A and B are shown apart, each in its own frame.
Chain A
Amino acid sequence: MEVWGALIGPLGFAVNSLRRRGFHSYLAFLGLALTVATTTFLLLLGQDLATRLGIDSSMRSTFGISWLILAYLVLALALVSIVGLLSSSYLVSSMINQRMRDIGVIKAAGALPRRLLSYVTFEAFVVIFSSCLVGALSALLIYASWSWPSVSLFKQVGPVPNAGASVLIVVPLISFLLCYVVASVRVRRIVGSSSVNAISKQLYNLDLKSLGNPLRTKRFGSAFNLATRNVSRDRGFNRTLLSVGICIFLSTVVLSGALVSADTSTSYVVRAMPPHIIIVANINIYNQYVTLGTSFSRTAPIPSLDYVNESYMISRQNASAFRAIPGVETVDTRLMTMSSITGFVKAHFASNQDTGENINTQIIPEVDTGSAQALIVGIDPSNAIGDWYTSDGFLHSDARYTMIAGDSLVGNIVQMPLNLSQVSAFGFRYDVKSALVDPLNAGRVLYAPVQTVQQNLAVNGYNVLLLKVNSDPAVLSAVTRLASSFGLVVGSQDPILNSNLAFLNSTWSHIFLIPILALALTCGILLSYLATNFSRRFNDYVVLKVLGADVWYRLKLLLWESWGVLAISMLIAIPVAWAVSIFFLLPDPSVSVADLELSTLVSALALSSVSVASATIYSRRLGLTTVKDLKP
């Protein structure tokens, strides 16, 4: 200790100053280290998850659903990075503000501004550098000790190449640079300002406009009155509100975004394969339909089958017989077959990318976009049971040579814009009208009018019927009897749907680590931010203690101050975040009210517990102070 004490120059100044400020120095260091550690860890975890889910979903799932999941992950990690970096800069700014008076005193004592600048900046450098280093090392330790093998996804996918090293270097480095720049600018501004302002920092920090009649609200008591005066007269109140509000807004978008994305992806699957639907088909086609339906959630190969074998066909009359059973509401008649298809982009005039205007002199010839095996489903658009999410609507009965492409075909066989895309199947050209999200054959599917498919394949009838019936068990019995009289089997679509939903739920359960940890990160950041803000009024709190404010009074005062700021921020940030998540994140979003209520409650509880924790920690700290801790 004495060795440090004897040091002179920037290092001695920094070490002595940090030692003397004790608790306040630790608070700034801990806040910064925590922010850097959790941001780095979250990015490492998110990157790992994205890689593993990407590999996993390339073997199953559909392009649309995978895109939705990965897009959410990218957005979440981007927002987490912003929260981490913004918070670090807020913390540094708050840390430097606490030093304003000391800087003013040293300057007034005759220190050369340039030397003072270098000394104080070096002190900030010591805190920032050490906390970024400790933060990066802690993130590495937590990441390394994470028990990947115990999580099914990680067992399944196995080791993946990741760019952890770059995250581990880039995040702490950017945090360090940003914090250092913020600290330098702030110190430069204080050193450059009048010493009088800096010395009388209390006046400098107070909003004199809000001075008026003293606020006397009996209902919440004296601690509330004092807290409102403290908070409302703080010149930095609006800035604090904005900083805290942005943190809460971004982390709520991460949380609500996950819920909206999970609910929406589930709704896409449920809309394509609604529950309580009965499948009627020949046993081989039935088994094939189950395999095709569950290819979204399983990696089993699709066996080859002669879909249009005569014995698998269900005639129009037989289909009508099902329609005639009382209690059968809809009969969705389908003719499906696996076929090789070729994609084309039609010849068209070149257009200006920015204006969409055609440039008549330049014609782009037709382009072959390749061939692949795809499931083609002939369907009666007027009796379709599915209510798919589509980009441009579903089929019309009168548009005969049109198709709707499954999402996994979009981007390779079927190119955007869809109105220029064509698909060749069975030797005929179909225009692609729209794209849909469909788990059938993992999205490698094309829907066309059933009459057209029948004509192209020269068959009469269908090979799968999907029936929507009422809940009367007698109807199911009647359907089963009729089906067996035609040599067909009956099964429910629910097991297929459940298998797909279980896969989606399992995927989202891994991803939900990100919003939960992001919320924890925000809580940690706000905890240090509020505690650092308390440090600015440390002297006032000690005065209150000396004058006779008991533990409860001090705790209530700190609670009102911290919770007040959080409550106002939450009141603004949480509804805005929800609105953004619901209206701007995804097309045709879906979110359950229960999810909305639960996440709002979780956020409010987590953030309120932050105010309780910060008030308790600081109140305990105040319990250890004596009148000797009062600054002259």
Chain B
Amino acid sequence: MDSQDEETEVRAPTPAVDFVGVSKEYLVNGKPIKALASITLNVKEGEVAAIVGQSGAGKTTVLNLIAGLEKPSEGDVRVLGLDLATSNEHSLSTFRSANIGFIFQSYNLVSTLTAEENVELMMELAGWSDSGRNENLTAELLSMVGLTDRAKHLPAQLSGGEQQRVAIARAMANDPALILADEPTGNLDQKTGLEIVKLLLRLKGEKGKTLVVTTHDDRIVEMADVIYRLENGSLGSVDRPTRVRS
């Protein structure tokens, strides 16, 4: 390997998510239903990947496979270097709490915890036991999403947009390398959705996080480095708009 190659190797982003020939089948009423058919995708560190497609195309299944919440029926899934297909549930849980942040369409905050407790919980799950540091970091994250004055409110006392901002703060709480967002603006109006998109852009720009987002929202698709289009469980097309733009 010459020095030119070595330089290229160092500069090339390592894959955060690597799917090779991944298929997923479910049994529904005893009948096998193919949710994904031999998908190959590759998201590099620091990239924003948008997964688009109609409802039922398999977008959420892709996220579940990346998070290790489900195992593939066929193919290899490597996320941040870990082979998820061969990992047991304990190591998958540890992996998720340490490396992955989640943002759901329906926010899914823990209903009995206040906004700040929801954020802190993620730190506790990641094994961060310094409560003073956790407290400061929580205040910082809530300030980042503009919810300092709502820190002591329960999810049910917050609006949809506020809940989603808490969810974003929670997704950042364990300082994950990878953030998975499942239609994060799906339940929000245009204006609130825009705030969330701006926050996601900050995650990409300032924090350098890898984002995999399933979405129908064009504003999110526009900020993506790579767009995977799913059609009935198969990969329809892959776009790299940054290349087009450049």
Contact = CB atoms under 8 A, between A and B. Distances in A.
Interface residues of B, number: 43
Contact of B131 (A218, A226, A546, A623): A218
B100 interface: yes
A627 B100 contact: no
Contacts of B121: 222, 226, 547
B113 A548 contact: no
Interface stretch (A55-63, A401-409, A549-557): A549-557
Nearest to A230: B112
B195 interface: no
B76 interface: no
Interface stretch (B3-11, B41-49, B77-85, B103-111): B103-111
A248 B64 CA distance: 43
B33 interface: no
Q: Which of A233, A545, A550, A628 has the most CB of B within 10 A?
A: A550
A158 interface: no
B245 interface: no
B108 A543 contact: yes
B111 A206 contact: yes
Contact of B69 (A203, A552, A627): A627
Contacts of A202: 111-112, 154-156
A548 B112 contact: no
B54 interface: no
Contacts of A208: 154
B179 to A, nearest CB: 12
A224 to B, nearest CB: 11
B102 A206 contact: no
Interface string B132-171: 0000000000000000000010111100000000000010
Given A200-B156, A549-B93, A630 B129 contact: no
B235 to A, nearest CB: 21
A218 B126 CA distance: 15
B110 to A, nearest CB: 5
Interface string A612-628: 00000000000100111
A547 B125 contact: yes
Given A539-B111, A623-B89, A548 B125 contact: yes
Contacts of B156: 200, 202-203, 206
Given A544-B110, A547-B102, A214 B60 contact: no
A632 B205 CA distance: 30
Given A206-B156, A233-B112, A537-B112, A630 B106 contact: yes
Interface residues of A, number: 39
A51 interface: no
Contact of B64 (A211, A212, A627, A631): A627
B70 interface: yes
A99 B109 CA distance: 20
A533 interface: no
11 contacts: A206-B154, A208-B154, A216-B131, A540-B111, A548-B93, A548-B95, A548-B98, A548-B126, A549-B97, A551-B93, A553-B125
Interface of B: 29, 60, 63-64, 67, 69-70, 89-90, 93-98, 100, 102, 104-106, 108-114, 116-117, 120-122, 124-126, 129, 131, 152, 154-157, 170
Given A1-B29, A543-B108, A627-B67, 8 more contacts: A202-B156, A203-B156, A216-B131, A226-B124, A234-B112, A540-B111, A543-B109, A630-B106
